[in-house]
Amino acid sequence: MGGRVTAPRLATAYALDWLLGDPEWFPHPVRGFGFLVRRVEPALRRFTKGARSEFAAGAGLTLAVVAVGWMAGRMKHPAWQVMLVWTALATGSLLDEAGAVIRALEASDLDLARLRLARIVGRDTAGLNAEGIARAVIETLAESACDGIVAPLFWLAAAGVSGAMAYKAINTLDSMIGHPEPPYRYFGRFAARLDDTVNYVPARATALCIAAGAKLCGLDARGALQIWRRDGDLHASPNAGQSEAAMAGALGVRLGGLNSYDGQLHEAPSLHSEARPAMVQDARAALGLVAVVSGIAFGLATLAIAGRRR
């Protein structure tokens, strides 16, 4: 496996993530993956003439960008490994950005809350009321707990720094081209399916971490497990509902429902549909819960890495 990281290096990277987050001035690998996609996609599309060629071109682009991520993780210099692992994690930036939305909500400044929320969600935020903002924050915290924390740590423990960087490349590709609508219906299909595959285990591990974290935070751990098992598979995606359903059960709130994207309404499955609507105090509780989930995932990854080296 490429770029096996040590437990002390992981601890250093994890501390940097908490302290510094993702500074905009720093040359983040995800920005590099995005640059590659934006530069190569137009060139590839010149040679596509139908669904089959679009799929092949998108698959080729996906494999090339993932290979770049994998090779970047092969370098074994300690400082390089620490930097890459730091950038693969997103606890600090997630908690900072979500916390800013929650503080604006607590101050009843809905305009500021909508503005800050737009930085971390893809849905339209202009028409959201306090309940809609709280729900969006909670859903984003639950989803990003997997994409930005548990999954990178899982692949770091399983396949080293190369695994973590390949995962970030796949996740970036999915967010950029893995859409079912034109023009990515065929071009991005391979990236979307690959993202489903690499997130399958981490999504379920995240739900379990949420249940464990709920127990530590004095929330409803049993409810997290029950609603996860009942509602986790309601989404068309095999992974999208896992952590959100567990979060809904832990908080005792209803998640999912109607959202607007680029002015178009989309109905997401309702999770824990019999529960009450989310409120700002639930968003605050979710923030603390995700911080605990991050600590649990970090501890498990550290134990796996230390145990393997022994």
List, for residues 200-258, the tens digit of each pLDDT value: 999 999 999 999 999 999 999 999 999 999 999 998 889 989 999 999 999 999 999 98
At position 40, the amino acid (one-letter code) is V
What's the confidence (pLDDT) of residue 117?
A: 96
Distance, CA of 241 to CA of 253 (rounded, Å): 14
- Work out the burial of residue 28: count CB atoms within 10 Å of its CB; fewer than 13 is exposed, 13-18 middle, 19 or more buried: middle
How is residue 259 annotated by DSSP?
E
Band of residue 293 on the pLDDT scale cut at 50, 70, 90: very high
Residue with tokens 């649990």: 296
Structure tokens at 131: 């309940």
Band of residue 55 on the pLDDT scale cut at 50, 70, 90: very high
- In this prediction the pTM is 0.95
Does position 2 have pLDDT exceeding 60, yes or no?
A: no
The stretch 162-187 carries a mean pLDDT of 95
- The percentage of the chain sitting over the pLDDT mark of 70, rounded to a whole number, equals 98
CB 252 within 8 A of CB 226: no
Q: What is the dihedral angle through the alpha carbons of 179, 183, 189, 192, rounded to the nearest 10 degrees?
A: -20
Closest CA to 242 of 176, 104, 146: 146
Q: b/e map of 278-293 (b: 16 or more CB within 10 Å)?
A: bbbebbbbbbebbbbb
List, for residues 122-135, the tens digit of each pLDDT value: 899 998 999 999 99
Band of residue 104 on the pLDDT scale cut at 50, 70, 90: very high
Does position 6 have pLDDT exceeding 70, yes or no?
A: yes
What's the confidence (pLDDT) of residue 259?
A: 87
Does position 309 have pLDDT exceeding 70, yes or no?
A: no
Helix, strand and coil in the chain, % to nearest 5: 70, 5, 25
H/E stretch holding 270 reads strand 264-271
Does position 260 have pLDDT exceeding 90, yes or no?
A: no
More confident residue, 180 or 295: 295
